[in-house]
Structure 1
Amino acid sequence: MTTALHYEALKERQRNLRHDFPETMGLRVHRAISWIGRAEQCGNDEDARFIFLWISFNAAYADETDFQGTTISERATFINFFNKLAQHDMKEKTIYTALWHRFSGPIRTLMNNHYIFHQFWQHQNGMEGFENWEETFQTSTRSFQQAFQDGNVSKVLRFVFDRLYVLRNQLVHGGATWNSRINRHQVRDGAAILAFLMPLFVQIMMANPHENWGRPFYPVVD
């Protein structure tokens, strides 16, 4: 597994392997691949591509506990998912290779963009306690750079998806204009990063079907 597969190849692999998938994991993969396929049909619409790929990400990682009012946060679910991916990718290092060799430039650009840094917007919206957002931003960026250099895949993914989550919120909650010139760079780079990572995530899941990837909260009900 050295490269990410596109929809048709992913779907073919899923059909060949699904007999060995637990039901809940098979449903996750099926749904995630379907949204990857939809994202590939977006042409030049990077906003739509990003949103569809984020839905694919949700299909892959979201656990039923996210919807049951438990104390576990969505970020904690992210971290748990990334830890599992990194553990199963330790030998081939496909995620790290993709991040380092193919997307190091776009990812560094994202990490240096304070417009997708959560604390910046907390401060902009007048919330107390975020006056030092610039210091926090610089600390976060340095921590990311160290994790990147150390090859800490799980930690790198946490930093990257923290930024992408802010971008996701801007798009999904109407905090951005469709096809806006103002946020083109982060939307374009974010969509490209997700378009490469999501197929890798799904491939790792299919290669390790008996890992506990969690239970989807919305199973198919007759």
Structure 2
Amino acid sequence: MDYQTLKLQHRAEREQWPEALSVRVHRALSWLQRAELCEQDEDAEFLFLWIAFNAAYANDIRSEHPPEAKAFADFLYQLQRFDRDKQLEALVWQQFSGPIRVLLDNPYVFQPFWECQKQPGCTDGWKWSFDKAQTRVSRALSQRDTVKILRVVFSRIYTLRNQLTHGGATWQGKLNREAIRDSVALMRAFVPVMLSIMMASPNQDWGQLHYPVLA
């Protein structure tokens, strides 16, 4: 599933959709198309995919703020509810089960690790939080809880996103290359799946636009 396939569907069906959904999908597809044009530049592709994701979701997912975390959880549960072909399950448990586990085991995309570095004398204070988070991850993995795994994965990817957008990493730097590569691969598949689910259920409430189109 790619930009061209989804765009053809959008053009064919958008007149019957609510305006908010049509605009969300239109914006997201424009950034997905740009991401697909990136060659040999995983950092740029990562950022364009994140914008595509956020254009469709249009909310912040900072895990340290419960209202946003709950809103993102609700969004994922809604996606899962209308995922008639079980595409999300296939992504998590089949296509990307290995990269997801690697990403979840990586402390460098765990925000408390970096918060600890800012505190004088804090060397391993983050480990307790990380171990506790890993226990929850293990439980979700054993229960095959797709939504919980995606929630944690995207909170980790959000930390990586912050590193790039706030200048906390080097372009094409070696230190975060594996995390970038795995995140790009996952989002390259997730964003089209997310859009296809939303487009297949246009009469559901996918939220109002934060930045509406003004004449």
TM-score (norm 2): 0.92
Answering whether residue 163 of structure 2 is matched by residue 167 of structure 1, we say: no
Q: Retained in 2: the 8 A contact 1:122–1:130?
A: no
**Alpha-carbon distance, 1:127 to partner:** 7.5
For 1:114, the aligned partner's letter is P
Structure 2 counterpart of 1:88, from 76, 82, 89: 82
More displaced 10-residue stretch of structure 1: 133-142 or 187-196:
133-142
Name 1:61's counterpart in structure 2: 57
Q: Retained in 2: the 8 A contact 1:120–1:130?
A: no
Q: Which secondary structure state, in structure 2, belongs to the residue aligned with residue 200 of structure 1?
A: helix
More displaced 10-residue stretch of structure 1: 118-127 or 107-116:
118-127
Structure 1 counterpart of 2:43, from 20, 40, 47: 47
**Alpha-carbon distance, 1:47 to partner:** 0.3
List aligned pairs for 1:187-198, cutoff 5 A. Answer: 187-198=180-191
Name 1:201's counterpart in structure 2: 194
For 2:198, the aligned partner's letter is M
The 3 A distance-change label for structure 1 pair 194 and 127 is farther
Distance 2:142 2:7 in 1: 34
Among the aligned pairs, what percent are the same residue? Answer: 43
**Alpha-carbon distance, 1:57 to partner:** 1.0
CA deviation vs aligned residue, 1:10-60 (integer Å, no higher than 9, x gap): 101111221221000110011111111110000110000000000011101
CA RMSD of aligned residues (A): 1.9
For 2:9, the aligned partner's letter is R
Q: Retained in 2: the 8 A contact 1:106–1:189?
A: yes
Answering whether residue 31 of structure 2 is matched by residue 31 of structure 1, we say: no
Distance 1:77 1:52 in 2: 22
Q: Which secondary structure state, in structure 1, belongs to the residue aligned with residue 51 of structure 2?
A: helix
The structure showing larger relative contact order (alpha-carbon pairs under 8 Å, at least 6 residues apart) is: 1
Structure 2 segments unaligned to the other structure (5+ residues): none
Name 2:209's counterpart in structure 1: 216
**Alpha-carbon distance, 1:156 to partner:** 1.1
More displaced 10-residue stretch of structure 1: 168-177 or 209-218:
209-218
Answering whether residue 138 of structure 2 is matched by residue 142 of structure 1, we say: no
Distance 2:29 2:92 in 1: 21
Structure 1 segments unaligned to the other structure (5+ residues): none
The 3 A distance-change label for structure 1 pair 185 and 131 is closer
CA deviation vs aligned residue, 1:106-162 (integer Å, no higher than 9, x gap): 111100000000111111111899963212212212312321332222111101001
Answering whether residue 179 of structure 2 is matched by residue 186 of structure 1, we say: yes
For 1:53, the aligned partner's letter is L
Answering whether residue 69 of structure 2 is matched by residue 75 of structure 1, we say: yes
For 1:29, the aligned partner's letter is V
Distance 1:124 1:116 in 2: 13
TM-score (norm 1): 0.89
Q: Retained in 2: the 8 A contact 1:62–1:77?
A: no
Name 1:154's counterpart in structure 2: 147
